[in-house]
Amino acid sequence: MIKKTISQTGLTDVLLKEKQLYKPSAKTLKMAKIKNVPATLKAAQKDPLKFWEEAATELEWFAPWKKVFEDRHKPFYEWFVGGKCNIVHNALDRHMDTPVEKKTAILWESDAGKHRQFTYRQLHTAVNKMANGLKMLGVKKGDRVATYLQNIPEAAITMLACAKIGAIHSVVYAGFSGNALATRLKDGRVKVLVTSNVGHRRGKVIDMKTVCDDALKQCHFVKKMIVVRQNDDLVKMKRNRDFFYHDLVDPQSDICKTVPVDSEHPLFILYTSGTTGTPKGIIHVHGGYMVGVNRSFQWAFDIRGDETYWCTADPGWITGHSYIVYAPLMAGITTLMFEGVPDYPRPDRIWKIVEKYKVNILYTAPTLIRALMRYGEQWPKKHDLSSLHLLGSVGEPINPEAWRWYHKNIGHGKCPIIDTWWQTETGMFMITPLPATPLKSGSATFPFPGIEVDVVDSKGNSAPAGKGGFLVIKNQWPSMLRGVYKDPARYKKTYWNKIKGVYFTGDLAHRDKDGYFWIQGRSDDVLSIAGHRIGSAEIESALVSHPAVVEAGVIGKPDEIKGERAKAFVILKKKYKLSESLIAELKKHVRSELGPIAVPSELEFVEKLPKTRSGKIMRRVLKAQELGEKLGDVSTLAD
């Protein structure tokens, strides 16, 4: 169902006022791979298959494809049909015995400021050993291996080791609770889980192993658990099920053959929130994914091969998959991984790291920029940020104020801001400037070459300039999702049957008279809290699973820092009385069902919830009432 209207997102006015053009600097233009953006867009639009085929030749294949694109089984599209490849061959193997081998692949800094690094050769060895370790535990091509790890090198090593042997990784964000982890393990029928004994955050030690032990009580099909030791604390290990990472991996051979897989062989499953209580397992495959991710990274971030690059995301989200691990390694550059948080121990942590490692490209999220903006510009001023030449943004619309702060105080007016719009499902950037694109603060500018994007009404008619509508993608692209794991019907219904013939993104947008796209948030009941996608329905079902709750309706409210926060309207069972302690208990319950990111910041107890005659909660009515907006069409309201 399409529920929000453009005015309800509250962003239109700010965005419409903001039309100032930022031209690329002479230096940016000089460096730019693509100097004539309009001509490049036009050529790719004329023949997208030619464009993608050319992009595919930049990578190595074990056997060439017979057909670039196949749409026989719409909407189950295939790319590079008949080709044999493996993304790990492109991310690691092909760099061996070349000058890249000696370069730093991963730079890592811990929460406490400890440092580790891997050259490409060392990473290759570490991945081979882990792949052999997985094989020893019985992992075979097509098996699912889950990780529940913080941002540590072993997270990347495990992903690569799985891909290398044709196993499918399912990375679960380490901020999720044991229950949320179990839901994902069950859906993927996971064979092996990789975790660490503890994690670190803001100087505190977080117990990770116990969360996994709890999850595995519900998941007996998970036969083995691999535990990375992060400190010397005593760890309770289950015999024949649990293995310490180093005990398993260190004795392994450092030789492991990369398995050639079909282009369409699944690379990973990544769960993301939708409009129902169950997350969707989004499937990506080796061939098309590597092509889309590589080309988009190389072009949008103008990669020359000698950069130190830092994406502040977590490997638990798509940004971590595509643009912390796979794209930078395929490009042979240095990718920085950071375990900690941006304002610990002081609000300049992030700027300190940029200075220390001489980061050239910083890719982060608007929520982080807004949070750091609040501490003031004296913090970035303490550091030499002159190594930066390009800035990126992702996750939610960047408001013009944050855009300008980032541009002035971090980029010193010289770095282009590449605002990349994309999704777990798209695998790669879909709307993004290239460095030579003139920018408007707050707009993601134009579609990536080869991608056809439109703003339409509910019947699929293109909206005129300035008028809002549904953001859709009108053609196919190589790194598109290949489905929802074990649920083809949901795949069709969610993405292809909402508006006929096009991919439905779920976002609202408009295009201005110059053709710039302005993203305005979601049209459905999916919240974006600090850039994390979470469904209203998921939070509601977590609340309803508490014995005191009869029913709950959850909406998103604007939040200055996080973009959005959740408010829950709750109907209590008669025998329960409203109290501070009950509120605290319900919050705790959501935390244990889903994890801290899903906890509503506000709870309101109500007698009744607005519903349709068929009994569905009308969240948009709750939201309009809460924000003092017009109710809109309430003809389906029951009461």
Find where tokens 């999916």 sit. 526
Please give the helix or strand (H or E) that residue 286 lies within, else none. helix 286-300
Q: Does 317 bind ligand WTA (CB under 6 A)?
A: yes
| Stretch of 155-163, 260-268, 317-325, 611-619 contacting ligand WTA, by CB under 6 A | 317-325
Number of chain positions touching ligand WTA (CB under 6 A)? 23
Nearest residue to 395 (alpha-carbon basis) of 281, 526, 202, 590? 526
Question: What SS3 class is residue 118?
Answer: strand
| Smallest separation (angstroms) from ligand WTA to the CB of 432 | 8
Nearest residue to 110 (alpha-carbon basis) of 337, 317, 276? 337
Looking at the Cβ atoms of 123 and 269, the one nearer to ligand WTA is 269
CA distance linking residue 241 with residue 225, whole number of Å: 6
Q: Does 18 bind ligand WTA (CB under 6 A)?
A: no
| Smallest separation (angstroms) from ligand WTA to the CB of 431 | 7
| Stretch of 63-71, 106-114, 218-226, 503-511 contacting ligand WTA, by CB under 6 A | 503-511
| Smallest separation (angstroms) from ligand WTA to the CB of 507 | 5
Q: Does 296 bind ligand WTA (CB under 6 A)?
A: no
Instruction: Tell me which residues in 155-214 interact with ligand WTA (CB under 6 A).
Output: none
Residues 423, 405 contacting (CB under 8 angstroms): no
Return the biggest CA–CA distance within the chain.
72
Q: Does 40 bind ligand WTA (CB under 6 A)?
A: no
| Stretch of 163-171, 315-323, 615-623, 630-638 contacting ligand WTA, by CB under 6 A | 315-323
**Closest residue to ligand WTA using C-beta atoms:** 424
Site string for ligand WTA, 447-486 (x = CB under 6 A): ----------------------------------------
Looking at the Cβ atoms of 13 and 639, the one nearer to ligand WTA is 13
Structure tokens at 66: 């017979």
Report the chain's terminal Cα–Cα distance, integer Å: 20
Among the listed residues 143, 507, 525, 593, the single contact to ligand WTA using CB under 6 A:
507
Find where tokens 């075979």 sit. 140
CA distance linking residue 11 with residue 406, whole number of Å: 19
Looking at the Cβ atoms of 51 and 363, the one nearer to ligand WTA is 363
Amino acid code (one letter) for 160: L
Q: Does 88 bind ligand WTA (CB under 6 A)?
A: no
* β-strand partners of 111: none
Q: Does 394 bind ligand WTA (CB under 6 A)?
A: yes
Query: What is the DSSP annotation of 223-239?
Result: -EEEEE--SSS-----T
| Stretch of 64-72, 93-101, 389-397, 451-459 contacting ligand WTA, by CB under 6 A | 389-397
Among the listed residues 8, 335, 399, 528, the single contact to ligand WTA using CB under 6 A:
528
Looking at the Cβ atoms of 301 and 421, the one nearer to ligand WTA is 421
With 0-12 CB in 10 A as exposed, 13-18 as middle and 19+ as buried, what is 12? middle
Find where tokens 């960047």 sit. 398
Looking at the Cβ atoms of 100 and 430, the one nearer to ligand WTA is 430
CA distance linking residue 56 with residue 263, whole number of Å: 11
Looking at the Cβ atoms of 107 and 418, the one nearer to ligand WTA is 418
| Stretch of 124-132, 144-152, 324-332, 391-399 contacting ligand WTA, by CB under 6 A | 391-399
Among the listed residues 68, 208, 215, 318, the single contact to ligand WTA using CB under 6 A:
318
Q: Does 272 bind ligand WTA (CB under 6 A)?
A: yes
Looking at the Cβ atoms of 155 and 259, the one nearer to ligand WTA is 155
| Smallest separation (angstroms) from ligand WTA to the CB of 313 | 8
| Smallest separation (angstroms) from ligand WTA to the CB of 524 | 9
CA distance linking residue 434 with residue 448, whole number of Å: 8
CA distance linking residue 581 with residue 589, whole number of Å: 12
Looking at the Cβ atoms of 230 and 399, the one nearer to ligand WTA is 399
Residues 446, 39 contacting (CB under 8 angstroms): no
Amino acid code (one letter) for 313: A
Q: Does 9 bind ligand WTA (CB under 6 A)?
A: no
Looking at the Cβ atoms of 227 and 473, the one nearer to ligand WTA is 473
| Smallest separation (angstroms) from ligand WTA to the CB of 335 | 17
Site string for ligand WTA, 397-426 (x = CB under 6 A): x---------------------xxxxxx--
Q: Does 385 bind ligand WTA (CB under 6 A)?
A: no
Residues 152, 196 contacting (CB under 8 angstroms): yes
Structure tokens at 23: 């031209």
Among the listed residues 160, 208, 219, 519, the single contact to ligand WTA using CB under 6 A:
519
| Smallest separation (angstroms) from ligand WTA to the CB of 522 | 5
| Smallest separation (angstroms) from ligand WTA to the CB of 15 | 11
| Smallest separation (angstroms) from ligand WTA to the CB of 555 | 16
Q: Does 538 bind ligand WTA (CB under 6 A)?
A: no
Q: Does 444 bind ligand WTA (CB under 6 A)?
A: yes
| Smallest separation (angstroms) from ligand WTA to the CB of 602 | 22
Buried b (16+ CB within 10 A) or exposed e, 273-292: bbbebbbbbbbbbbbbbbbb
- Beta-carbon count within 10 A of 582 CB: 18
Looking at the Cβ atoms of 147 and 420, the one nearer to ligand WTA is 420
CA distance linking residue 60 with residue 323, whole number of Å: 19
Structure tokens at 511: 């295009």
CA distance linking residue 354 with residue 53, whole number of Å: 36
3-state SS track over 319-346: HHHHHHHHHHHHCCCEEEEECCCCCCCC
- Beta-carbon count within 10 A of 390 CB: 23
CA distance linking residue 301 with residue 104, whole number of Å: 19
Among the listed residues 166, 188, 315, 395, the single contact to ligand WTA using CB under 6 A:
395
Among the listed residues 188, 279, 392, 506, the single contact to ligand WTA using CB under 6 A:
506
Query: What is the DSSP annotation of 383-430?
Result: S--TT--EEEEESSPPPHHHHHHIIIIISTTTS-EEEEB--TTT-S-S
Structure tokens at 509: 């947008």
| Stretch of 184-192, 375-383, 393-401, 616-624 contacting ligand WTA, by CB under 6 A | 393-401
| Smallest separation (angstroms) from ligand WTA to the CB of 463 | 18
Residues 300, 421 contacting (CB under 8 angstroms): no
| Stretch of 107-115, 314-322, 382-390, 578-586 contacting ligand WTA, by CB under 6 A | 314-322
Amino acid code (one letter) for 17: K
- List residues binding ligand WTA (CB under 6 A): 272, 317-319, 393-397, 419-424, 444, 505-507, 519, 522, 528, 533
